[in-house]
């Protein structure tokens, strides 16, 4: 296939294309100038639901909305870049880890002034509402609650004939005993549980069941080195006795559901945030269900946490209009018929009751689970300090050096602990 | 006088057989991952990861239809946007980079070494740090949320890679040809337009291919500068299929659309590679 | 940079008027600058500003959400003295460049030479070898690579079949993960291969014919004709692949899940930079890291250019 292109043709082609390109390029700027901008991270399912709600709102309120969505991996880079240019969208979906950074640096608008007016939050769950407060001012409205859990492969357990005890009360020792009992009966290559050592939320429930936590309210470390050492030692024992997959297999888990040990048929138990159950079930043929995390102390380790928030940008040109849209998201029944519990179980009691009937069996499992969890929770932890995100990620290489036999438990724990204190002090 | 550099003659039959074997094996290694992706596009999501090397149960192309429409905007839009941006980039790069390369390769002017070093320098800085200042710059120009930040720089020779590439190639063309033209009274523009460019078809075709493909594959630029989903390019749209925060991903559709997205670049490649292969008339002219 | 000084010295391209002094210089330089105009505009308007801004930012504390605060040499001090993670990132990146660049270029050159002949179906082969590069850095590549090099992946299945050995999970093992990334780089050798092909096409056929008639073997022809005449192209590919290797980011980002693991064994320099800038809100520090990388790359490039004096000859130089 020869391309007939001598220089003259190319010259004409070049001029024509350049002109067309310019026209196309400038075209898009015109329309979206005055619309309200909404940004969220998500997946195709959440996008479809959110866009449907946006369309509903456009019809009912006659307003113009410009929605944008990005994958989680790229969301924060895009948001930070826009923040640097003071060009944040009006409505921002926020995460628990980042809301404090953004709020304390005055990038988010205070919402207290809209409560009772554009924002009707009277029947909102108080705990969930408080979770969006930074320094006692409301910066984000929770879009749904979830809690940590252990998810397990029900089909496999039923096949072996194992029945789980009451998970609100069970201890780590009981859980490990169950694992040892099951070990011989599992198929080759399948282990009892994923290794959860590198998951900070798991460490958090461990500490909280002992009455401690990760961080204090004034941003210092709230546990002792000894706690971390015994935590790592526990998981090393689990790995060495064959209750978890070997280090290299476990390292395949890149925090994406599809790479998790339960999906890749390497484990029966896995750590999961409750609102991810639906997505997880789609990736596995066997049936999965949720139980609470075993405690290794007398106190309740878990808490109900906000899955994500909706906030308003401080640089928004029309905050009342943004607040109205926010209100629509959390309170409107027709909107929530579409959104359902994809982002978590909503804090508004009336909406919750309204959508209950339309949920599928997997979704109902989530609601049932949260009901169980609510009977044994401890209060919400204080807001994470600056650097908490970095420390959460740093737990993984620290654990992996133990898992791969590169470092002793005491050394790795001490290195992490000292680094944590330094990072928190660096501020 | 043959205008093209013909393919070199083949050796004996045993050599050819061996060559085919090596090539065949190489092809398999190259292409297996792509075959895997194509196969996976026909499997349901739960089987892709739990049974990665199993063949699909049936030739199920439904993920292609679903993938085309799974996002709010149909994939046809994304292809159109990608084409507009990529083709503009090709035109811009060919025009501006050949002008610049000609200056560096053939002309001399005061400060040339300095400018050349600066140009090479622009290749070396990681783009993540100029990202934010550049964003602010374009924001102040009012170009954010349009194609302008992605296209205009190409017309201003921002891709030093192509300048460097063309310089190397221009320097491979003997000066005697220029000198003959000067003898005939040609100025630098005519030498550029009537001699350099026609003799440089291989490198121009190469630059066209790379320009198209790299712009087509560029993810970071569109991520930062495009807000409206209607204006997304193909790679940006593809990322939306997977949610690593634990939500509902659509892998079969991702693989289906990724396989499809290879087709335009493949066609561009096939079309232009002939121009490279046709070769340079130089060998014949020289003696 | 000898190649460039030679450019400067050649005087025979344009008719030179007898005027001396700056006026003459202006006249002589004018065509050059006119051709250079698009690049100059682009450089001053679009590149210089952001580049200087990033240099400024490297001396500040900047979290993107609040305006930058001057911090003097603090970032550079931390980078050189305290940052162990940076040292490991430099080492990982260096290893990556030193292995992937020669391997990639050798494979590219080898296959370009094989494809330069009229083998049947040569167009098909050319296209298929280029296909992997078309995938670029898409999400699909990440999934692909884990499937091939993962615990139950293709490589391990082949290993089991042929030798009965049970392989480890290569892509998630700290000793081997980097090698899977090197393999990925080499797999995408299509671009340098195309450039080699274009360069090979510029070598006049009659040289080979004359050499064959003189009885030179294929190997001798390669050493005496192909390599020397291809030297400018080899040099180009070498410099460019090396620069890109140092800046490598996307493949490590998507395959390691954005963290450079396991145990930082795939923490490329640019990945570390990205994490510091956008995940840890330390854009000032990241800017300092970027400039340090620029210096590293510049040093290596300067060495390459200096060495080119000894093995790269250009058509347009006096013989």
Residue B17 lies in a domain: yes
CB-based contact B122 C51, cutoff 8 Å: yes
Residue A25 has pLDDT above 70, yes or no: no
Query: pLDDT-derived band of residue A261, with 50, 70 and 90 as boundaries?
Result: very high
CB-based contact B7 C132, cutoff 8 Å: no
Position C202 scores a pLDDT of 74
CB-based contact A81 B146, cutoff 8 Å: no
Query: pLDDT-derived band of residue A394, with 50, 70 and 90 as boundaries?
Result: very high
A interface mutation test: which of C84, C167, C169 has the most A CBs within 10 A? C169
CA distance C192 to chain B (A): 10
Residue C66 lies in a domain: no
Inter-residue contact C120 to B10 (CB < 8 Å): no
> Could you tell me which CATH class the domain A33-144+306-369 is placed in?
alpha beta
Residue C120 lies in a domain: yes
In a shared domain, residues C18 and C139: no
Answer whether B92 touches A (CB < 8 Å): yes
A357 vs B85: CA distance, rounded Å: 48
Q: What is the mean pLDDT of residues B258-283?
A: 70
Comparing A398 with C45, the larger pLDDT belongs to A398
A:B CB pairs within 8 Å: 171
Give DSSP secondary structure letters for A211-223.
Answer: T--SB-TTSSB-S
* Block residue for tokens 């990861």: B49
C122: chain B residues, CB-CB within 8 Å: 7
Answer whether C301 touches B (CB < 8 Å): yes
Most confident of A191-205, B166-180, C164-178: A191-205
pLDDT in tens, B142-193: 888 889 999 999 999 888 889 988 888 888 788 888 888 888 888 888 888 8
Residue C82 lies in a domain: yes
Residue A375 has pLDDT above 60, yes or no: yes
Position A417 scores a pLDDT of 95
Q: Which of residues 196-255 of C touch B (CB under 8 A)?
A: 197-199, 201-206, 208, 232-233, 235-236, 239-240, 243, 246-247, 249-250
CATH number of A148-302+386-426: 3.40.190.10
Of A300-309, A334-343, C131-140, give the lowest mean pLDDT range: C131-140
CB-based contact C262 A255, cutoff 8 Å: no
pLDDT in tens, A396-407: 999 999 999 999
In a shared domain, residues C158 and C188: yes
Of A181-185, A306-310, C227-231, give the lowest mean pLDDT range: C227-231
C250: chain B residues, CB-CB within 8 Å: 219
Residue C299 lies in a domain: yes
Residues of chain B above pLDDT 70, percent: 86
A76: chain C residues, CB-CB within 8 Å: 278-279
**CA separation (Å) from B66 to A279, A419, B31, B254, B257?**
18, 48, 25, 10, 10
Whole domain around residue C173: which residue ranges? 74-311
Inter-residue contact A385 to A104 (CB < 8 Å): no
Report the residue from B109, B137, B206 with minimal CB separation from C198. B206
Q: What is the mean pLDDT of chain A?
A: 86
Cα torsion through A370, A238, A286, B39, rounded to 10? 120
- Token pair in block for residue B215: 């712009």
Residues of chain B above pLDDT 90, percent: 14
In a shared domain, residues C133 and C230: yes
Q: Neighbouring chains of C at 3+ CB pairs within 8 Å?
A: A, B
C29: chain B residues, CB-CB within 8 Å: 108-111
CB-based contact C10 B103, cutoff 8 Å: no
In 3D space, the residue among A254, A152, C287, C182 whose CA is nearest the CA of residue B245 turns out to be A254
Q: What φ, ψ does residue B231 adopt, rounded to 5°?
A: -105, 5
Domain count, chain B: 1
Question: Which residues of chain A does CATH 3.40.190.10 include?
Answer: 33-144+306-369, 148-302+386-426
Report the residue from B91, B144, B229 with minimal CB separation from A18. B91
Residue A192: half-sphere exposure toward Cβ, Cα within 13 Å: 21
Position A14 scores a pLDDT of 58
CB-based contact C51 B130, cutoff 8 Å: yes
Position A177 scores a pLDDT of 92
CA distance C215 to chain B (A): 15
Residue A33 has pLDDT above 70, yes or no: no
CB-based contact A257 B224, cutoff 8 Å: no
User: What crossing angle do the helices spanning C122-135 and B251-278 adopt, rounded to 10°?
Assistant: 130
Query: pLDDT-derived band of residue A18, with 50, 70 and 90 as boundaries?
Result: low
The pairing of strands A36-41 and A65-70 is parallel
CB-based contact B179 C206, cutoff 8 Å: no
Residue B237 has pLDDT above 80, yes or no: yes
Query: pLDDT-derived band of residue B281, with 50, 70 and 90 as boundaries?
Result: very low
pLDDT in tens, A84-127: 888 999 999 998 878 888 988 889 999 998 888 888 888 888 87
pLDDT in tens, B4-31: 444 555 556 677 787 778 778 888 888 8
CB-based contact A107 C152, cutoff 8 Å: no
pLDDT in tens, A142-151: 988 889 999 9
HEC states along A299-312?
A: CCCCCCEECCEEEE
Q: What is the mean pLDDT of residues A4-27?
A: 54
In a shared domain, residues C84 and C168: yes
Query: pLDDT-derived band of residue A298, with 50, 70 and 90 as boundaries?
Result: confident
Which CATH number does the domain housing residue B209 bear?
1.10.3720.10
Report the residue from A21, A259, A284 with minimal CB separation from B46. A284
In a shared domain, residues C39 and C176: no
Q: What is the mean pLDDT of residues B232-252?
A: 77
Q: What is the mean pLDDT of residues C9-13?
A: 45
CA distance C265 to chain A (A): 10
B139: chain A residues, CB-CB within 8 Å: 85, 87
CB-based contact C36 B235, cutoff 8 Å: no
Residue B7 lies in a domain: no
Q: What is the mean pLDDT of residues C45-61?
A: 90
pLDDT in tens, B100-129: 999 998 888 888 899 998 988 888 777 776
C278: chain A residues, CB-CB within 8 Å: 76-77, 80
Query: pLDDT-derived band of residue A16, with 50, 70 and 90 as boundaries?
Result: low
DSSP A264: T
Residue C22 has pLDDT above 80, yes or no: no
Which CATH number does the domain housing residue C161 bear?
1.10.3720.10
Residue C319 has pLDDT above 50, yes or no: no
Position A206 scores a pLDDT of 93
Answer whether C259 touches B (CB < 8 Å): no
Residue B247 lies in a domain: yes
B29 vs B7: CA distance, rounded Å: 25
Q: What is the enclosing helix (H) or strand (E) of B190?
A: helix B188-190
User: Left, alpha or beta for A163 (phi > 0: left; psi -120 to 50: alpha)?
Assistant: beta
CB-based contact A24 B272, cutoff 8 Å: no
In a shared domain, residues C173 and C29: no
Residue C96 lies in a domain: yes
Inter-residue contact B278 to C123 (CB < 8 Å): no
Inter-residue contact C264 to C85 (CB < 8 Å): yes
Inter-residue contact C139 to B241 (CB < 8 Å): yes
Position A225 scores a pLDDT of 94
Position C227 scores a pLDDT of 85
A:C CB pairs within 8 Å: 80
CB-based contact B91 A13, cutoff 8 Å: yes
pLDDT in tens, B69-99: 877 788 888 999 999 999 999 999 999 999 9
Q: Neighbouring chains of A at 3+ CB pairs within 8 Å?
A: B, C
CA distance C174 to chain B (A): 22
Residue C11 has pLDDT above 50, yes or no: no
pLDDT in tens, A153-183: 999 999 888 888 888 888 999 999 999 999 9
Comparing C29 with C42, the larger pLDDT belongs to C42
Position A402 scores a pLDDT of 94
Whole domain around residue B227: which residue ranges? 13-286
Q: What is the mean pLDDT of chain B?
A: 81
B115: chain C residues, CB-CB within 8 Å: 36, 40
Q: What is the mean pLDDT of residues A213-221?
A: 89
Q: What is the mean pLDDT of residues B194-219?
A: 85
Residues of chain C above pLDDT 90, percent: 29
B44 vs B56: CA distance, rounded Å: 9
Of A327-341, B136-150, B237-251, C195-209, give the lowest mean pLDDT range: B237-251
CA distance B26 to chain A (A): 25
Comparing C150 with A12, the larger pLDDT belongs to C150
Task: Name the closest residue on chain B to residue A15, using Cα atoms.
Answer: B91
Position B186 scores a pLDDT of 84
Comparing B113 with C119, the larger pLDDT belongs to B113
Report the residue from B52, B210, B241 with minimal CB separation from C147. B52
Q: What is the mean pLDDT of residues A63-68?
A: 89
């Amino acid at each position: 296939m020869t391309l007939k292109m001598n220089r003259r043709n190319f010259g004409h082609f070049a001029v024509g294309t350049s002109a067309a390109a310019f026209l196309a390029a400038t075209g898009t700027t015109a329309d979206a100038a005055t619309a309200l901008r909404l940004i969220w991270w998500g997946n195709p399912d959440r996008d479809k639901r959110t866009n449907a709600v946006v369309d509903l709102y456009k019809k009912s309120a006659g307003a113009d909305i410009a929605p944008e969505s990005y994958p989680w991996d790229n969301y924060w880079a895009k948001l930070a870049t826009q923040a640097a240019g003071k060009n944040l969208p009006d409505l921002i979906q926020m995460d628990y880890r980042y809301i404090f950074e953004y709020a304390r640096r005055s990038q988010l608008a205070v919402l207290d002034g809209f409560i009772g007016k554009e924002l009707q939050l009277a029947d909102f769950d108080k705990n969930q509402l408080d979770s969006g407060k930074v320094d006692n001012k409301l910066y984000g409205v929770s879009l749904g609650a979830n809690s940590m859990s252990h998810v397990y492969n029900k089909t496999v357990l039923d096949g072996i004939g194992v029945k789980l005890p009451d998970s609100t009360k069970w201890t780590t020792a009981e859980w490990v005993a169950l694992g040892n009992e099951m070990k011989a009966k599992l198929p080759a290559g399948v282990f009892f549980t994923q290794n959860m050592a590198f998951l900070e939320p798991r460490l958090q429930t461990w500490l909280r069941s002992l009455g401690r936590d990760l961080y204090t309210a004034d941003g210092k470390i709230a546990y002792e080195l000894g706690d971390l050492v015994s935590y790592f030692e526990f998981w090393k024992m689990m790995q060495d006795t064959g209750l978890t997959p070997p280090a290299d297999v476990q390292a395949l888990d890149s925090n994406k559901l599809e790479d998790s040990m339960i999906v890749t048929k390497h484990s029966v138990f896995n750590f999961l945030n409750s609102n991810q159950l639906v997505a997880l079930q789609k990736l596995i043929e066997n049936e999965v269900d949720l139980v609470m995390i075993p405690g290794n102390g007398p106190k309740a380790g878990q808490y109900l946490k906000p899955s994500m928030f909706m906030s308003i940008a401080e640089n928004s040109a029309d905050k009342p209009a943004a607040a109205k849209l926010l209100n629509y998201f959390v309170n409107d029944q027709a909107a929530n018929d579409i959104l359902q519990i994809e982002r978590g179980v909503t804090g508004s009691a009336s909406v919750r009751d309204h959508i209950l009937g339309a949920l599928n069996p997997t979704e109902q499992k989530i609601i049932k689970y949260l009901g169980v969890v609510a009977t044994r929770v401890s209060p919400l932890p204080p807001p994470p300090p600056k650097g908490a995100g970095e420390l959460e990620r740093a737990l993984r290489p620290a654990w992996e050096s133990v898992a791969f036999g590169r470092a002793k438990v005491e050394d790795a724990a001490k290195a992490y602990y000292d680094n944590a204190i330094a990072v928190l002090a660096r501020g | 006088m043959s205008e093209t550099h013909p393919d070199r003659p083949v050796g004996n039959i045993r050599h050819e057989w061996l060559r085919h074997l090596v090539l065949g094996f190489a092809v398999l290694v190259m292409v297996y991952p792509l075959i895997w992706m194509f196969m996976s596009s026909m499997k349901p999501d739960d089987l892709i990861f739990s049974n990665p090397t199993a063949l699909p149960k049936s030739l199920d192309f439904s993920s292609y239809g679903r993938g085309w429409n799974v996002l709010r905007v149909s994939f046809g839009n994304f292809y159109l946007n990608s084409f507009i941006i990529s083709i503009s980039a090709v035109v811009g790069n060919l025009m501006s980079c050949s002008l610049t390369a000609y200056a560096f390769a053939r002309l001399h002017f005061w400060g040339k070494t300095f400018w050349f070093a600066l140009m090479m320098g622009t290749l070396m800085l990681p783009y993540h740090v100029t990202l934010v200042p550049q964003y602010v710059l374009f924001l102040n120009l009012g170009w954010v949320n349009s194609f302008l930040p992605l296209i205009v720089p190409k017309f201003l020779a921002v891709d030093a890679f192509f300048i460097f590439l063309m310089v190397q190639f221009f320097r491979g063309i003997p000066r005697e040809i220029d000198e003959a033209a000067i003898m005939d009274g040609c100025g630098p523009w005519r030498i550029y337009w009537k001699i350099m460019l026609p003799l440089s078809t291989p490198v121009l075709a190469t630059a066209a291919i790379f320009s198209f493909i790299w712009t087509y594959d560029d993810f970071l630029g569109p991520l930062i500068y495009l807000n409206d989903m209607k204006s997304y390019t193909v790679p940006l749209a593809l990322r939306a299929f997977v949610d690593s925060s634990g939500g509902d991903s659509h892998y079969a559709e991702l693989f289906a659309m990724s396989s499809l997205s290879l087709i335009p670049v493949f066609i561009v490649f096939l079309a232009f590679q002939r121009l490279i292969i046709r070769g340079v008339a130089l060998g014949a002219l020289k003696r | 940079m000898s190649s460039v000084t030679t450019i400067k010295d050649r005087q025979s391209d344009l008719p030179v008027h007898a005027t001396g002094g700056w006026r003459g210089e202006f006249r002589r330089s004018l065509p050059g600058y006119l051709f250079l105009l698009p690049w100059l505009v682009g450089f001053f308007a679009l590149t210089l500003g952001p580049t200087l801004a990033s240099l400024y930012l490297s001396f500040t504390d900047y979290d993107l959400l609040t305006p930058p605060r001057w911090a003097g040499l603090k970032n550079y001090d931390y980078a050189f003295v305290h940052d162990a993670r940076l040292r490991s990132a430099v080492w990982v990146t260096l290893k990556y460049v030193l292995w992937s660049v020669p391997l990639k270029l050798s494979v590219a050159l080898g296959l370009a030479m094989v494809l330069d002949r009229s083998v049947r179906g040569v167009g098909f082969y050319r296209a298929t070898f280029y296909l992997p590069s078309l995938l670029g850095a898409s999400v699909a590549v990440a999934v692909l690579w884990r499937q091939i090099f993962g615990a139950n992946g293709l490589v391990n299945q082949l290993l089991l079949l042929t030798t009965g050995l049970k392989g480890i999970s290569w892509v998630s093992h700290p000793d081997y993960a980097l090698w899977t990334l090197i393999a990925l780089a080499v797999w995408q050798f299509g671009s340098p291969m195309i450039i080699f092909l274009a360069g090979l096409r510029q070598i006049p056929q009659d040289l080979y014919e004359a050499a064959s008639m003189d009885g030179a073997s294929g190997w001798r022809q390669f050493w005496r004709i192909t390599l020397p005449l291809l030297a400018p192209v080899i040099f180009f590919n070498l410099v460019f692949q090396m620069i890109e290797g140092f800046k490598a980011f996307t493949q490590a980002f998507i395959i390691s899940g954005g963290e450079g693991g396991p145990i930082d064994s795939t923490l490329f320099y640019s990945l570390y930079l990205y994490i510091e800038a956008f995940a840890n809100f330390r854009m000032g520090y990241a800017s300092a890291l970027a400039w340090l990388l620029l210096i590293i790359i510049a040093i290596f490039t300067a060495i390459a250019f200096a060495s080119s004096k000894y093995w790269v000859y250009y058509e347009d130089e006096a013989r």
